[in-house]
Amino acid sequence: MRYRKLARTGVEVSTQCLGAMMFGAFGNTDHDECERIINHALDAGINFVDTADVYSQGESEQIVGRAIKGRRDDIVLATKCFTPMGDERNHRGGSRRWITRAVEDSLRRLDTDYIDLYQVHRHDWDVDLEETLGALTDLVRQGKVRYLGSSSYPADWIVEAQWAARRRNSERFVCEQPQYSIFARSIEEAVLPATLRHDVGVIPWSPLAGGWLTGKYRRDAEIPSGSRFGSEGVFARRRGGAGLDEDPSTPARYDAVEGLATVAEQAGISLTHLALAFVDSHPAVTSTIIGPKTQAQLDDVLAGADVTLDATTLDAIDKVVPPGTDIAGIEHYSGNPSLRPASRRRAG
| Residues identified as active-site | 55
Select from 114, 16, 33 the least CA-distant residue to 293: 33
Cα–Cα distance for residue pair 35/295, rounded to 1 Å:
11
CB 218 within 8 A of CB 253: no
Assign 281 to helix, strand or coil: coil
Contact in structure between 235 and 229 (CB atoms under 8 Å): yes
Note whether 8 and 37 are within 8 A (CB). no
Q: For CA atoms 89, 93, 95, 98, give the dihedral sign.
A: positive
Tally Cβ neighbours within 10 Å of residue 85. 17
Whether residue 115 contacts residue 103, with contact meaning beta carbons closer than 8 Å, is answered with yes
User: How far apart, in Å, do the first and last CA atoms of the chain sit?
Assistant: 61
Contacts of 309 (CB under 8 A, 6+ apart): 267, 274, 277, 278, 281, 317
The residue among 241, 253, 242, 127 whose CA lies nearest residue 184 is 253
DSSP secondary structure of 317-331: HHHHS-TT-B-TT--
